[in-house]
Structure 1
Amino acid sequence: MSDPGPLAVFTGAATSVNVSHMLDDIASMVPGVHHLVATDTPVSNDTEYREFGTNNPSSVQGQFRALTKYLDAHTPRILLQITDPPLHGTIAGLVAQRYDVPFVYRYSGDRFYEYRVAKGREQLTAFALGAILGRVPIRLATRHIALGPTGKRRLIARGVPPERITVLPPTIDPARFDDPSPVPLDIPDNYKLILFVGRLSRLKGTETLERIIPAVLDRRNDLQFVCVGSVERELNVPASVRDHVMTIGKVSPDTVSDYMAAADLLVHPTLTEGVPRVLLESLAAETPVLARDVGDIASVTENTFDSDKEFENRLVDLESIPLDDISPFTPEQLESTYRDFFEDW
């Protein structure tokens, strides 16, 4: 039997922890040595990947060049894009078509509709990238990956035959969260810790937090809100509640799980989403979640909200929020689906 060639994964200039986790998901569940084409190396140090392209600049032209040089020298069985569907999907789709390599498009976020929640000039950019450019790679793709049923429906609405779509959500290993370390938080013992993890930005729901926090604390004052992650802009809350809000900033990925284990509830008021790994990690740390019902969040948790008032009411009654079952997202549950998809070429 002839060698089918490696699985090539294109991440371009993306280096986030989530990209690294997705690379680890594939490496842990799909046998073989895989190729990673990137201008910047993601955080992952997984030895299952041979890296190509890191000597190229991280501009759009540099990412095109990196992938073109790679395909000049190698013939993978498939080329997979895992992040930034409009840009990386277009780059991968066009280059794969030139070299007659099967291209797999991964619809990793709610990019078709991001313009609806953007503002000002960002709205025009989001429309051009998501609603216009974003249609190009789905037409170039041989097969498509959605993270959940909502993503699948949105691909079908754009003309993708259902039989070409496979639902492959992210995976999470609960064993990673077995031994949390204490976090240095000076919070009264009788307070409940409400955790936000992510970039403090408008698209991630900062304005919602600014409206909700004073309203919730007006109804019960035994809550401490803690924000972990990079800060695009500081939370603007009234002086009367600032003692109940802490901004930690960016911490190491290992430390994030410690904050999750210490929390009583994780909130995720994002305006646009796919399947957020932060929810899976919180559930693996046995901390319930409460999230806005966008993207494929409802495939992870039933603890969702659609309005500020619903968010406020559920937060006030946080003790009644149940812990969702994480088992559908474990490697044991998803390994055969991943393996079948990536080996069936």
Structure 2
Amino acid sequence: MNSVLLNSWTTNVKKLRIRAKGGRPGEEKMRVLHVFETLPGGPATYLNEVVPHQIAKYGAKNVRVLVPDAHLSHVQNIPSSCIITFKRQGRYKSLPALARAVMAEVKSFRPDVVHAHSTFAGAVTRAIGALSRRFPPIIYCAHGWSFDMETLGPLRLVARWGERLLAPFCQKIVAISQHEYDRGVEIGISPSRMVVIENGLSRKNPVAVPAEWKDPITKVLFVGRLDRQKGVDILLKSAATLEGRASFKVIGATVTTKSEQNAVSFVPDNVELLGWKSPMEIAGYLAACDVVVMPSRWEGFGLVALEAMRAKKPVIASAVGGLRQIVRHGQTGFLFPSGDSVALAEAILGQDAAGWRDMGLAGYRRFHARYQSDRMNDELIALYDEVLRKETAGERVLV
């Protein structure tokens, strides 16, 4: 590790915190570097909820975000001065560029905390940190364990061992759901290394672009990638049995592999594929639908469920991962066995319009009580404080 990098960071640690000029007496600031290898989906939503809050708290000069240049369009409401990019040319080919960018930013920005997001950013950052005990303390968030991905096949075992071996080279692992925490413990990660900080969303809905959807039958909305994980094939099987009784709109795009594209090769007449939509357009369809469906085969958390609850819509979800904690069966929606298209169809027919409205209101109350981003952001700030306090007291443990 470059000696200049180490010496500059050591000086930064000894100062404990950077105090902003003009701040209130006793107000402390810290520098945070966020590292993302990919953004589409949950990571982008997380970034856009967390980083603006930290900029407001610490100041724009004290927060930086390292993201792939190809994914800049997913960054919202963050000053360009806070954003650093690296060139992304495919996932694996881009890892050396990501590593160089991380080392350069640690050297020049001298963060107090490095917050790495998702599998590859977490692996690269922790590998760099493992080279020296004087690297800034690392917080890692998997945003859904890679070893839960069925599509990895035999590589799931490799992913499990990778996460277990790398776990000691960060100060804390943020689990976005109790499910993710439990899975980490199952593979051998120390419970003391992990903390549950559930995802959250701003209480404000995006300004909606009105959507035309006036079917007199049950209106069902799906939002997500059209791939095996999100279970779009299960949705289409159910829809085919509900023609004349339910209308479906699908927001999302197909993946590139031929096997996944075959999952949407047959689209029933009561299903409309809309492609990707903006947050404002999605808000319009959420306002117009009766119920949101999430037939995922695996899910670390499930942010679409929170978007639905915030919009006062009930959720029908497969009983997997973090969705089991979010959806209250029979109260805010329904849970059904993963992969069971018949059970999904039965759930869609389980309520009339008034019943869906009542469930949606129950979900809205649950969202406000548990899943607002203010709570998530406060818990992250408290975690940063705890990690840095232990770091400066010489309590770092890397074994």
Work out whether 1:22 is the aligned partner of 2:50: no
* TM-superposition CA deviations, 1:128-168 (whole Å, max 9, x none): 4x324333332322111001111111122233332332211
Tell me which residue corresponds to 1:173: 202
Shift of 1:273: 0.9
Tell me which residue corresponds to 2:131: 98
| 1:231 to 1:50, Cα distance in 2 relative to 1, 3 A | same
Q: Distance in 1 between matches of 2:212 and 2:219?
A: 13
Query: What residue identity is the alignment partner of 1:96?
Result: G
- Give SS of 1:226's match: strand
Work out whether 1:70 is the aligned partner of 2:105: yes
Q: Distance in 2 between matches of 1:18 and 1:60?
A: 20
Shift of 1:57: 5.8
- Give SS of 1:94's match: helix
Work out whether 1:244 is the aligned partner of 2:286: no
- Give SS of 2:280's match: helix
What are the ranges of 5 or more consecutive residues in structure 1 without an aligned counterpart? Answer: none
Shift of 1:285: 1.0
Work out whether 1:267 is the aligned partner of 2:308: no
TM-score (norm 2): 0.75
User: Aligned ranges for residues 11-160 of structure 1 at < 5 Å?
Assistant: 11-12=36-37, 14-16=38-40, 18-30=42-54, 31-32=57-58, 33-40=62-69, 41=72, 42-47=74-79, 50-54=82-86, 59-83=94-118, 85=119, 87-99=120-132, 100-114=135-149, 117-118=150-151, 122-128=152-158, 130-160=159-189
For the 8 Å contact 1:34–1:48, the answer to whether it is kept is no
Tell me which residue corresponds to 1:297: 323
Query: What residue identity is the alignment partner of 1:91?
Result: V
Tell me which residue corresponds to 1:343: 385
Shift of 1:337: 1.8
- Give SS of 2:230's match: coil
For the 8 Å contact 2:199–2:373, the answer to whether it is kept is no
Q: Distance in 2 between matches of 1:158 and 1:125?
A: 15
Shift of 1:244: 0.6
Q: Distance in 2 between matches of 1:213 and 1:110?
A: 30
Tell me which residue corresponds to 1:228: 251
Query: What residue identity is the alignment partner of 1:329?
Result: Y
- Give SS of 1:37's match: strand
* TM-superposition CA deviations, 1:2-37 (whole Å, max 9, x none): 43551111002x132533321232234432131212
User: Identity rate of aligned residues, in percent?
Assistant: 18
Query: What residue identity is the alignment partner of 1:23?
Result: L
Tell me which residue corresponds to 1:182: 210
What are the ranges of 5 or more consecutive residues in structure 2 without an aligned counterpart? Answer: 1-14, 19-29, 256-260, 329-333, 389-399
Q: Distance in 1 between matches of 2:248 and 2:88?
A: 42
Runs of 4+ in 1 over 4 A off after TM superposition: 55-58
Shift of 1:331: 2.9
- Give SS of 1:254's match: helix
Query: What residue identity is the alignment partner of 1:341?
Result: L
Shift of 1:123: 1.9
| Number of aligned residues | 327
Tell me which residue corresponds to 2:367: 326
For the 8 Å contact 2:239–2:246, the answer to whether it is kept is no
Q: Distance in 2 between matches of 1:109 and 1:289?
A: 20
Q: Distance in 1 between matches of 2:97 and 2:377?
A: 34
Shift of 1:48: 8.7
For the 8 Å contact 2:50–2:377, the answer to whether it is kept is no
318-327 or 290-299, which deviates more: 318-327
Tell me which residue corresponds to 2:394: none
Shift of 1:265: 0.6
| 1:180 to 1:331, Cα distance in 2 relative to 1, 3 A | same
| 1:48 to 1:155, Cα distance in 2 relative to 1, 3 A | farther
Structure 1 vs Structure 2 CA RMSD: 2.4
Q: Distance in 1 between matches of 2:100 and 2:138?
A: 17
Query: What residue identity is the alignment partner of 1:19?
Result: P
- Give SS of 2:182's match: helix
For the 8 Å contact 2:179–2:322, the answer to whether it is kept is yes
63-72 or 288-297, which deviates more: 63-72
Q: Distance in 2 between matches of 1:25 and 1:49?
A: 18
Work out whether 1:10 is the aligned partner of 2:35: yes
Query: What residue identity is the alignment partner of 2:367?
Result: I
Shift of 1:125: 4.5
For the 8 Å contact 2:176–2:198, the answer to whether it is kept is yes
Work out whether 1:283 is the aligned partner of 2:309: yes
Q: Distance in 2 between matches of 1:67 and 1:88?
A: 9
Shift of 1:55: 5.8
Q: Distance in 2 between matches of 1:137 and 1:53?
A: 25
